[in-house]
Amino acid sequence: MTSYPRPSPITSTVDFGVAEGIQHGYLKLPVSVDESAWGAVMIPITVVAGGEGPTALLTAGIHGDEYEGITALHSLAATLSPEQVNGRVIIIPMANLPAAMAGLRTSPMDKGNLNRSFPGNPDGTVTEQIADYMNRVLIPKCDVALDLHSGGRTLDILPFAAFHALNNDWQERSCLAAATAFSAPYVLKMVELDATRLYDTAVERQGKVFVTTELGGGGTSTPRSVEITKRGVENFLIHNHILEGDITPSEELPIYLDMQSADCYIQSEHSGLLEMMVTLGDRVETGDVLARVYDMTRTGVPPVEYCARNAGILMARRFPAQVGMGDTIAVIANEVASLERK
Ligand code: ZN
* pLDDT tens figures, 20-34: 999 999 999 999 999
State mean pLDDT over 144-164: 98
> Pick the residue with more confidence: 71 or 190?
71
Ligand 1 centroid to residue 299 C-alpha, Å = 36
The CA distances from residue 98 to 73, 95, 187, 239, in Å, are 17, 9, 31, 32
> Would you state the pLDDT for residue 2?
56
d(CA 241, CA 254): 22
Q: Is the pLDDT of residue 128 over 80?
A: yes
d(CA 118, CA 103): 22
State mean pLDDT over 112-140: 98
Ligand 1 centroid to residue 20 C-alpha, Å = 32
Ligand 1 centroid to residue 235 C-alpha, Å = 21
- HSE-CB at 109 with a 13 A cutoff on CA atoms is 24
Domains along the chain? 11-258 (3.40.630.10), 264-335 (2.40.50.100)
Highest mean pLDDT among 173-187, 190-204, 261-275: 173-187
> Would you state the pLDDT for residue 278?
98
Ligand 1 centroid to residue 152 C-alpha, Å = 7
The proportion of the chain whose per-residue pLDDT surpasses 70, expressed as a percent, equals 99
The proportion of the chain whose per-residue pLDDT surpasses 90, expressed as a percent, equals 93
pLDDT-derived band at 118 (thresholds 50, 70, 90) equals very high
Ligand 1 centroid to residue 18 C-alpha, Å = 31
pLDDT-derived band at 53 (thresholds 50, 70, 90) equals very high
Ligand 1 centroid to residue 118 C-alpha, Å = 14
d(CA 206, CA 262): 25
Q: Is the pLDDT of residue 1 over 80?
A: no
Amino acid type, 281: G
Task: Name the 3-class secondary structure at 225.
Answer: helix
> Pick the residue with more confidence: 192 or 267?
267
Helices (H) and strands (E) in the chain, counts: 6, 19
Amino acid type, 16: F
Give the predicted TM-score (pTM) of the model: 0.96
Report which DSSP code applies to 339.
Answer: -
d(CA 260, CA 333): 8
| Cα-to-chain-centroid distance, residue 338 | 23
